[in-house]
Amino acid sequence: MLVSPSSVRALAFLHRRFPPPPPPPRPHLLQPPTHPAPPRSAMAFSAEPAAEEAEEEALPPVTGPGEVTAEEWRRWGTSSPLPAAVAAVVGELLEMEAEAGQKMRFGGVGSKIKGDFKDMEDKKHRAVYQTLADSDKKLQYFSARQIACRLLGSRGYLCQKCWLPMEDCMCAKLGSCNLWQGIRFWLYMHPKDFLRQNNTGKLLWQVFGIQAAPLCLFGIQEHEDIMWDAFQRSGKGKVSFLYPNKSTTPMSVKDLKFDGLNLSCDHPEEDVKDEPFNFVLLDGTWSNSAALYRRLKIRNWNK
């Protein structure tokens, strides 16, 4: 059908005079959903760096069970007994909670205590810390306090295997793998990285298992004693720290010998003799890793 020029001009005038309504916005692939997020529990745990952490309102109080049991402790990725110092700090926090008549609240990086209870706990912590004259005792108390707060603050929020929020659990996407018995990985972790969501060292025992890649927490006597004893049984020649150091000569993994067997060969399990070769991976920030490395050198070289 032919349309006259005058009709086209009339339609153009009406279009300019009465433009059609704009189309609804298309959702962007990276745009967050418009529906409200499900409520998070009291155990808020941010994966953002500590330097960028913003002050936030304390979350609802912890409603989980009281004392940390040995079974709960092992579920977080360790085969060791519940450390006595950690259990003692948890008990102190629960006693303070009962005396104060208010529930503990946690939030931010590392499940830090929030609200008025934070001031009470901080005074208690400083008073106990000042009574400890021995530097090793101070380290043990510092580590136990860090870990105790993370244990209580992560209850009901983080998955005990992958340390991610339960709604983001990735355990079903991970597969297991057997590690040759001639090697053992030790994940030597600073307590400030314990139960941290963006920690990647936890993948070691998730893939290889807690016996082939055990967790050792810095300043926790029960953990460190297990690792020191393993080093002593293997001997200094079978202990290597994976840590960048300008003053040492780097080694290639291909140069390492395992009871006369080199790593590039495929050997059956019965070929493994005596104790395994120990690789220690330091898990922490650069400054915290330096403290881990110094402690490793002192303890391992003095054996």
Are 241 and 280 spatial neighbours (Cβ–Cβ below 8 Å)? yes
DSSP state of 282: E
pLDDT at residue 195 in the model: 93
Q: Which amino acid is at 190?
A: H
Q: Which long-range contacts (CB under 8 A, 24 or more apart) does 126-132 make?
A: none
**What does pLDDT average to over the chain?**
75
Percent of the chain scored above 90 by pLDDT?
34
State how far Cα 287 lies from the chain centre.
Answer: 17
Q: Which long-range contacts (CB under 8 A, 24 or more apart) does 169-178 make?
A: 171/206, 174/203, 174/206, 174/207, 175/207, 176/206, 176/207, 176/208, 176/209, 177/207, 177/208, 178/208, 178/212
Tell which wins on pLDDT, 81 or 64. Answer: 81
Q: What is the mean pLDDT of residues 247-254?
A: 64
List the strands of the sheet with 239-242, edge to edge.
Answer: 215-217, 183-189, 277-283, 239-242
Are 182 and 277 spatial neighbours (Cβ–Cβ below 8 Å)? yes
Are 240 and 277 spatial neighbours (Cβ–Cβ below 8 Å)? yes
Q: What is the mean pLDDT of residues 6-31?
A: 44
Beta bridge partners of 184: 278
Percent of the chain scored above 70 by pLDDT?
66
Q: 149-167 pLDDT, tens per residue?
A: 999 989 888 999 999 999 9
Q: What is the mean pLDDT of residues 173-198?
A: 91
Residue 2 has pLDDT above 70, yes or no: no
Beta bridge partners of 105: 114
Are 289 and 245 spatial neighbours (Cβ–Cβ below 8 Å)? no
Can you give the pTM of this predicted structure? 0.71
